[in-house]
């Protein structure tokens, strides 16, 4: 059995998003009057829209959107790679919000005279900019300002608490084999994504320092070379995929030449939001900081 379930799709989307990475945070196209019927074409965008109190305006989402619970009863219009254009047209949206890297879909929608708003979500700065732009475009600026203020408050608290501390080497894993005694191929967070940003804000440093690969894939020898002091294994909804987390932990324990394993600093994060770069991704900041700096008193820090 392999751990390339829903995370496999995430890694694919992650790679596609990073291929189109540039300095431009958002793209606006076909600006119209305040939209009333909105379709969102990525789970992160759906979460952002609901966080901005746009739920009453959402008329459809993707097959992979499941948060908040209200979206479960909404029409589905396909996935990231294969949106159903006929279904989208039939719903008569006055705005489709999607990722900027979905260039083929953007062109198709514009040919159908359907207004689009495209955003990036690769880095934390992109995610915050997407909140701002979606709020501005939909006349929900106040909601966006409040959400961004809450995020900045969380960031400030964590940065102040970890300021001046040593920065442990942290490795974030996003996919690897399971069901065997030893790991073989491990996908990890590189230097060009929101996980790297979260590590830095939480008071750590990415154990993988090479910025040439956006989604590195390491062998056991490669992991031993970077020798992380903390390993955080992103493993959302493990119960839905019959994953044996004891087996996963044992795989890590077999790598007993690595500092994180020697000091029992391997951690598994199962929350579903851990792979969705929307507003909830900032919940990881609190989790990361506690795992990276367990020596601090976190009792009085708001989650």
303 neighbors 286 (Cβ within 8 angstroms): yes
Domain with CATH 3.40.50.1980 in the chain: 21-139, 166-292
| CA–CA dist 39, 105 (Å, integer) | 13
Rounded CA gap, 203 and 233, in Å? Answer: 18
**CA dist., res. 16 & res. 104, Å (int):** 13
pLDDT of 138 reads: 96
Sheet containing 38-40, strands listed edge to edge, beginning at the edge strand earlier in sequence? 26-28, 116-119, 95-99, 38-40, 58-60
Measured between alpha carbons, how far is residue 253 from residues 50, 247, 258, 268 in Å? 41, 10, 9, 13
What is the pLDDT, as a whole number, of residue 25? 47
Q: Which residue in 100, 42, 92 sits closest to 67, CA to CA?
A: 42
CATH of domain 166-292: 3.40.50.1980
Do the strands 95-99 and 169-176 form a parallel or antiparallel pair, or are they unpaired?
Answer: unpaired
In the prediction, which pLDDT does 299 show? 81
Would you state the pLDDT for residue 180?
62
pLDDT of residue 5: 38
Rounded to whole angstroms, the Cα distance separating 17 from 99 reads: 8
Q: For domain 21-139, is the CATH number 3.40.50.1980? A: yes
Structure tokens at 106: 């953007």
Q: What is the pLDDT along the chain (303 residues), one digit of tens a residue?
A: 334 434 544 555 555 555 445 444 455 455 557 899 999 999 999 999 999 999 999 999 999 999 999 999 999 999 888 899 999 999 999 999 999 999 999 999 999 999 999 999 999 999 999 999 999 999 999 999 999 999 999 999 999 999 999 999 999 998 876 656 667 788 999 999 999 999 999 999 999 999 888 889 999 899 999 999 999 999 876 555 555 777 788 888 888 899 999 999 999 998 989 999 999 999 999 999 999 999 998 887 655
Per the CB < 8 A criterion, the answer to whether 44 and 278 are in contact is: yes
Q: How many CB atoms lie within 10 A of CB 171?
A: 27
Predicted pLDDT of residue 246: 79
pTM: 0.89
Reported as type and span, the H/E element at residue 213 is none
């Amino acid at each position: 059995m392999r751990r390339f379930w829903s995370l496999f799709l995430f890694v694919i989307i992650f790679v596609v998003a990073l291929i189109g990475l540039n300095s431009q945070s958002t793209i606006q196209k076909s600006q119209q009057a305040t939209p009333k019927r909105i379709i969102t074409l990525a789970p992160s965008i759906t979460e952002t829209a609901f966080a901005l109190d746009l739920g009453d305006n959402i008329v459809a989402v993707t097959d992979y959107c499941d948060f908040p619970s209200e979206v479960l009863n909404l029409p589905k219009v396909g996935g990231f790679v294969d949106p159903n254009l006929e279904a989208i047209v039939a719903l008569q949206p006055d705005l489709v919000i999607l990722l900027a890297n979905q260039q083929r879909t953007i062109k198709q929608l514009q040919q159908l005279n359907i207004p689009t708003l495209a955003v990036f979500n690769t880095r934390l700065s992109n995610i915050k900019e997407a909140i701002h732009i979606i709020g501005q475009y939909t006349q929900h600026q106040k909601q966006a300002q409040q959400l961004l203020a809450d995020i900045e408050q969380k960031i400030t608290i964590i940065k102040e608490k970890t300021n001046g501390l040593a920065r442990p080497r942290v490795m974030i894993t996003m996919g690897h084999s399971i069901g065997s005694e030893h790991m073989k191929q491990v996908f990890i967070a590189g230097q060009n994504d929101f996980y790297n940003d979260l590590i830095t804000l939480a008071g750590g440093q990415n154990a993988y320092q090479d910025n040439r690969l956006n989604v590195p894939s390491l062998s056991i020898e490669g992991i031993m070379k970077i020798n992380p002091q903390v390993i955080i294994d992103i493993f959302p909804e493990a119960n839905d995929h019959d994953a044996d987390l004891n087996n996963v932990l044992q795989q890590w324990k077999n790598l007993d030449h690595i500092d994180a394993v020697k000091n029992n600093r391997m951690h598994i994060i199962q929350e579903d939001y851990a792979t969705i770069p929307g507003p909830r991704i900032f919940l990881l900041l609190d989790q990361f900081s506690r795992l990276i700096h367990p020596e601090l008193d976190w009792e009085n820090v708001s989650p």
